[in-house]
Every structure is written in C-alpha cells, then in structure tokens.
C-alpha cells in the first residue's frame, strides 16, 4: 500500500468505539484493547442521557468515592493535600491514582492531589472514577476560600494632576496582603481629616473646597493608609478643546486636549480635567445602544451620529461637536473549497508553499490514533489529501511549519508508552513528509500541546509547565539549548517575534521573555524575564504579537479559552434542565452535544515592553475564542461556535471592536456530514496567498476568499 493509499484508506475504514471491535485504520496501525476504548467512550458519552453504554461486566464495580478531608476551608495561598479513594461494592479501597481530581482553574490549582487556593469564594473540587460498563462515579468536595488579612493599604493619586480649588482628582487605594499581593475588588471606606479643605466621596474622588492641606485616609477591613494633599488656587480664566476631527468613522480613535489659560493667556499646566460626551439620538430611535467611550480625552464611537465632547475644569467648561459615520468595511466571504474530515476532530493546521513550488497544509487531529494529515491546496477549490502521518499518540493538537518550509513540528499527547514529546517532520517531499526525529527528553515526556518553529529552533511546550528550546539546524539530530519555566504558572501557547517569546499562561496572563532580543540580557540558552500582564478572565490560552502597519504600535492579541458557560443565563446545549441533547452514536463516534464556550480577545499595547497596557478587546457574545492570526491590519479569529471572524484592526485600537462595525466578514462552517453535524467549532485561521484557510474540529479544512468591493463605473 502506498502512502497516498494510506491517506485515502483512513477516509473509508470504519472505527467502532465502545465495543470489543476495533477496525484497523491502515496497515500497521496499533490495535486498541476493548477496555481502552470503553474508557474513551465513557469519557465522551457517559453523562449524555439516552446513550446506550457498552455491556461489559465488572466483577467488583466501584460504587462510591471517599475524600479526606471531606471539605476544605482555606485562605488564598494555602496548600492542602486531598486524598480521594474509590470504594468497590465489596468494600475494597482502590489506589487514589485511579481517581481524577479537578477544580475551577481560576479558583484552585490541583497538582498530584495538592490543592492550592487562588481566589476567594465558594467552590467545589470534582473527583471522577471512570470504569467500563457503567457511568462514572463522581464526588464533589466543597471548598471555601477566604482572603488573607490585609497587611497595609497604599493610597496614591490616579494621575499627576494638581489639586486646584474647585477641581476633583481620583485617588486609588491598594489593599495588600503580607506577601505583597493585592486584594481584588476591595471595599474601601474613604474619609477626610479636614473636610472644609478637601472632601472625598465613596469612590475616592477628592474635591478641593479651599486652599490648604488635608489628609485623606482609606480603610479596608480595619487596615488604614493615608495620603497628604495640598490644594492650590484656581487661576484659570478660559478653557478650550484642541484636537479631534470634524468627521470620523466608528472605531476610529480621536484624541482631544483641554487647554486651561490664566488671565494673561498663559497655559495653566497640570490642571485636572473631567471629560464626558453626549450623543444626539437620531429621530425614531427610542432606546439607542451605548454609543461611545471616552477615557482621558481619547474618544471612540460605536455607532454613527453627532457627538459632543465636554471638558470641565473647576467652574469652566468647553465643548466640541463632530459627526461619526459608519465604518463600512463589510466584504463578502466566498467559500472555495473544503477538505472534509468527519472521522476525527481536526485541530491546528499550517499552510505553506513547499520546496516543489506547490501549496500544502498540514492538519492535526484529536482522537485520531495519532494521525496528522497532508493536503495539497494549490487549487483552493479542490483540496486533496495526499498522505497521512501516524505517530504513537491519542491526539495531535498542533502542526506548524518553519518559515523556510524545511521542516514541521507535530505535537502529541496520550502516547501508549507515555513518552510524548515533539516530532520533527522532514518536508523535502512536502506531499509525503517523513519523520526526521522525535524529542521526548528535557521534560517533554508528559505531553506537548503546542510548539513554535523558527528557521533553526523549536520552542516546545513541556506538559503545560515550561517551554524547551531545541536547535534543529540538523532536524535529524535536535539539540537542547535552554528552557524557560515561569514560576507558579501553567503554560498553553508561545509565539516568538524579534527575540521575544510571548506566552499565554492561563491565570497568570501574558508573560514575555527575552530569548535573543538582548536588551534584558536574554538569549536562547539563557532566557530572561521581561514583563507580565495578568488578564481578568484567568483563561489566557493563545497569544499573537503584531506591529500595526497603519500606526506602528506594537500590540499583543491575547485570547481566552473557557470551555463552559457556567452561571450565565444561557449555559449552552445540554447544560441545563430540559435542554435538548442529540445522543452520541457509539457505532460511528459521531453526533453528540456541541460544546459551549465563552471568552474574548484582549488587546494589549506593548509599545513599552516593561509597562504594557490593556487598550481594547474583541468580544462576541455567547461564543468563545480559540487561535489568532493578524496580518496586514486584519485579525483572522477562530471563534469556536462563532466560526471564522475577519476583523479590521487598522488604526489605533480602543474599546470593543465588535460593537464598532469593524467586522469585515463572518462565516460559520455548517456541515451536515460533520463529526457533529451542522455544528461549527472553528479552531484556527490563517491567511495565505490571498485566501483565508481555517480548520474546524467538526468538518475539516476550509478555504475562502474575501471578494473585493465593487467599484462604481466611471
């Protein structure tokens, strides 16, 4: 059988899970035992009502779980060991290693039975024991987490503005624990020692009533912090607004400046200015949406209309009006082809021009018995599978190609011998790649979910803990160079640009490391930490650094992955009482309940690497993000059930891009013959030679093109 025949054979042969039968996919593929596939079937379907479970007798089944301790009360930062054992019908207590223990990521960290408290609140650990022929046995362990005591309160002004009589400045209070960590959402009680000079409201806004001195105090849980203020006379006579534009588009950022002058016409520097804006509601609109956003003189509009910005400084006020028009960037997206793959769940992919001059794509797959696939995409309207590559794995999550198309990385998880690692593919014959080498040492044994190849080096993620840097100048003899492990962090993605490695580290957010830039003394052999930026959701999953072509600003696009909608009004299919569920088909491994996700893209201004700033977001309600690509000021976003989203990210970015009319095109890949029929679940997107390629876990590889807007006849 030729390699090409192997690829075609995978399309036609039938996989039967949940029984004692396993049809061999290709010659030489591993056979799975009935027990292994019964367990795999249990994990996917046991909790779905109406599913017929495989009939397999268990002599002494597990009937319950016992936790020690049965419930936890902790403070943030505490660590406690929890032991959960399975108890069989006869009373035998099984080894705790057979029980899986997890908890909500943002609240607790669970590693080898040790639970670390991360955030205050009421939660539950979930212990699960799966066994063939029966539903999993589940136990919830209640967890109550409290904050540590406040050690100190630090009070500081929110800006460097001078406090002039009649003006207001904002104060900030940070409540710190003994280890220096800050109490989030702390309830602050404010008071002024001399209210006849300075008053302070419950939000920390200090207003000067007279010239003099005052001390303002912030109290959090009995701990106090103070700030001495000195007020000055208000010398302003006139106030004017400079900047902005008479006409702009939704999504454009305009910067206004308020100029306060004294009686002699001299500018009064450092005067606090309060900004606001007004919107003229068009006739017939009864309940307009939130139309715009303004922060420190910077304005962006979400909807068209006439706006007025207002600047207030003490008793003076100034106004400036202008018109905002629709952005008008929508284009038609024309689907050209599909490389359908409904037998397995398609994952990450990479499209490239091979050394033979033809165009190819490599795709990974979940639950594929270790298969990745090769596609000829030279004709985007006729995508053809040319080969398949099998490695010892349960899933191949990531496929990437080096910039020179010399080699590819293939990551694997769930190897039968528990030695996963990264696989290097030789692309000398791009239609039929061959395995050049496998690297399983240096901590890569536990599983590699993602990798990032450069022309000569590979950054491989080691079991979600660190990334290992390999020299692949000789792809048949990779060499270990160095590694970086951010303390107390879990890692999911890394992207390298201009000597800096940008990594997505779940609850720790974005982490940036010098791996050759040199300004911080880092190198490939000795990486050096540059900065980090915690993100509000705690689900930091993907990262993409990008320098804007239109502004030169250095942005980092960071994406969440939250695989549930727990606690929201709509939790998704199969999540609540009375919800409709399509039964999973154990004979084909298809159908089942579509997943429900949430999360969004957070955009960080990284122009100052040591002081990054969150400036914008792209948030589509009721869907969750996955992988990111930005090119030519266009964001190509895989948005899971929300499909492929193509977004204009030109110009300065501020606010929520979704509400600003910046979406160029949206396509949801419904496929009636998909792994789960008619259920979009877009994993990745990548522009290539004027086309947009994207992968969908339920339907394979797709190609499309943006149709240029028609021009009027002259």
- pLDDT by residue (tens digit) across 683-705? 999 999 999 999 999 999 999 99
Q: How far is CA 629 from CA 186, 486, 538, 650, 709, in A?
A: 37, 25, 21, 14, 23
- Domain span holding position 264: 240-325
Beta bridge partners of 231: 212
**pLDDT category, 18, cuts 50, 70, 90?**
very low
Q: Which of 201, 231, 261 represents a domain boundary (last residue)?
A: 231
Distance from chain centroid for Cα 125: 23
Structural domain contains residue 550: no
Q: Is residue 167 situated within a structural domain?
A: yes
Please state the domain count of the chain.
4
Do the beta carbons of residue 204 and residue 218 sit within 8 Å?
A: yes
Backbone angles phi, psi at 80, to 5 degrees: -140, 135
Average pLDDT score over the chain: 88
Q: Kindly state whether residues 136 and 158 are assigned to the same domain.
A: no
Give which of 56, 104, 109 is closest to 82, Cα–Cα.
109
Task: Name the pLDDT band for 447 (thresholds 50, 70, 90).
Answer: confident
Is the pLDDT assigned to residue 181 strictly greater than 90?
no
- Residue 348, domain member (yes or no): no
**What sign for the dihedral angle of Cα 534, 557, 363, 358?**
negative
Is residue 43 a contact partner of residue 114, using CB atoms and an 8 Å limit?
no
Q: How far apart are CA 4 and CA 375, in angstroms?
A: 11
pLDDT band at 711 (very low <50, low <70, confident <90, very high): low
313 within domain boundaries: yes
H helices within 247-360, ranges in order?
Answer: none
Q: In this structure, is residue 23 part of a structural domain?
A: yes
Are residues 92 and 24 part of one domain? no
40 falls within a domain? yes
Instruction: Give the residue from 474, 388, 483, 490 showing the smallest Cα distance to 424.
Output: 474
Residue 480 within any structural domain of the chain: no
pLDDT in tens, 292-348: 999 999 999 999 999 999 999 999 999 999 999 999 999 999 999 999 998 899 999
Q: Are residues 76 and 121 in the same domain?
A: yes
| Statement: residue 550 has pLDDT above 60 | yes
What would the mean pLDDT of 87-106 be, rounded to a whole number? 85
470 in any annotated domain: no
Q: Which among 127, 146, 165 is the end of a domain?
A: 146
CATH number at residue 283: 2.60.40.1080
Residues 35 and 20 in one domain: yes
Residues 452-507: tens digit of each pLDDT: 999 999 999 998 899 999 999 999 999 999 999 999 888 999 999 999 999 999 98
Residue ranges of E strands in 536-670: 540-547, 554-560, 584-585, 590-591, 601-605, 613-618, 628-631, 634-638, 644-648, 655-656, 663-667
- Helical (H) or strand (E) element with 36: helix 34-45
Q: How far is CA 683 from the centre of its chain?
A: 12
> How many CB atoms within 10 Å of residue 611?
10
Selection from 467, 403, 464 nearest residue 439 by Cα: 467
């Amino acid at each position: 059988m030729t390699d090409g025949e192997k690829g075609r054979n995978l399309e036609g042969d039938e996989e039967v899970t949940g029984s004692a039968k396993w049809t061999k996919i290709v010659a030489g593929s591993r056979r799975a035992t009935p027990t292994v596939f019964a367990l795999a079937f249990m994990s996917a379907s046991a909790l779905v009502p109406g599913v017929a479970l495989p009939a397999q007798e268990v002599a002494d089944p597990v009937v319950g779980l016992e936790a020690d301790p049965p419930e936890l009360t902790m403070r943030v930062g505490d660590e406690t060991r929890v032991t959960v054992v399975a108890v069989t019908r006869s009373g035998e207590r099984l080894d705790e290693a057979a029980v899986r223990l997890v908890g909500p990521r943002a609240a607790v960290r669970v590693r080898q039975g040790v639970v670390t408290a991360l955030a205050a609140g009421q939660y539950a650990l979930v212990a699960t024991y799966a066994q063939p022929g029966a539903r999993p046995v589940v136990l919830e362990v209640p967890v109550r987490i409290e904050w540590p005591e406040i050690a100190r309160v630090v009070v500081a002004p929110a800006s460097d503005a001078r406090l002039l009589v009649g003006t207001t400045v904002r104060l900030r209070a940070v409540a710190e624990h003994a280890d220096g960590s800050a109490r989030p959402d702390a309830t602050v009680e404010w008071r002024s020692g001399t209210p006849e000079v300075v008053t302070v409201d419950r939000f920390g806004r200090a207003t000067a009533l007279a010239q003099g001195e005052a001390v303002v105090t912030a109290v959090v849980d009995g701990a106090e912090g103070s700030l001495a203020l000195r007020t000055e006379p208000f010398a302003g006579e006139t106030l004017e607004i400079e900047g902005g534009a008479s006409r702009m588009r939704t999504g454009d950022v305009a910067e206004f400046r308020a100029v306060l002058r004294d009686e002699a016409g001299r500018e009064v520097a450092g005067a606090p200015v309060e900004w606001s804006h007004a919107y003229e509601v068009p006739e017939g609109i009864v309940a307009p949406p939130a139309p715009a956003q303004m922060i420190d003189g910077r304005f962006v509009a979400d909807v068209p209309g006439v706006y007025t910005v207002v600047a207030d400084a003490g008793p003076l006020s100034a106004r400036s009006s202008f018109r905002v028009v629709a952005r008008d960037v929508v284009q038609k997206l024309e689907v050209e082809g599909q490389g359908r793959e409904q037998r397995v769940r398609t994952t990450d992919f990479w499209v490239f021009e091979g050394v033979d001059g033809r165009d190819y794509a490599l795709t990974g797959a979940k639950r594929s018995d270790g298969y990745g696939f090769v596609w000829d995409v030279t004709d985007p309207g006729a995508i053809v599978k040319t080969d398949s590559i099998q490695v010892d794995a349960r899933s191949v999550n990531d496929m990437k190609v080096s910039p020179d198309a010399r080699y590819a990385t293939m990551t694997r998880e769930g190897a039968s011998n528990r030695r996963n690692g990264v696989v290097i593919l030789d692309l000398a014959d791009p239609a039929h790649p061959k395995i050049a080498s496998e690297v399983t040492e240096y901590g890569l044994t536990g599983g590699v979910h993602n990798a990032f190849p450069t022309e000569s080096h590979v950054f491989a993620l080691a079991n979600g803990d660190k990334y290992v840097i390999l020299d692949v100048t000789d792809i048949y003899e990779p060499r270990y160079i160095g590694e970086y492990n951010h303390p107390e962090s879990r890692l999911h993605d890394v992207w390298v640009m201009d000597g800096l490695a940008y990594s997505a580290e779940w609850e720790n957010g974005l982490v940036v490391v010098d791996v050759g830039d040199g300004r911080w003394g880092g190198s490939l052999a000795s990486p050096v930490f540059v900065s980090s930026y915690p993100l509000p959701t705690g689900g930091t999953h993907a990262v993409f650094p990008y320098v804007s072509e239109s502004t030169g600003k250095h942005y980092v696009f960071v994406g969440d992955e939250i695989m549930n909608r727990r606690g929201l009004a709509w939790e998704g299919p199969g999540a609540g009482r009375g919800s409709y569920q399509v039964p999973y088909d154990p004979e084909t491994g298809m159908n089942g309940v579509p997943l429900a996700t949430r999360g969004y893209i957070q955009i960080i201004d990284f122009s100052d690497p040591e002081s990054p700033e969150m400036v914008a977001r792209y948030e589509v309600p009721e869907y969750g993000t996955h992988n990111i690509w930005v090119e030519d000021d266009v964001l190509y976003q895989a948005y899971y059930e929300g499909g492929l989203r193509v977004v204009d990210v030109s110009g300065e970015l501020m606010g929520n891009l979704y509400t600003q009319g910046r979406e160029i095109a949206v396509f949801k890949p419904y496929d009636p013959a998909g792994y789960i029929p008619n259920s979009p679940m877009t994993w990745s997107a990548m522009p290539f030679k004027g086309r947009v390629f994207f992968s969908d876990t339920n339907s394979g590889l797709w190609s499309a093109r943006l149709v240029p807007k028609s021009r009027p006849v002259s």
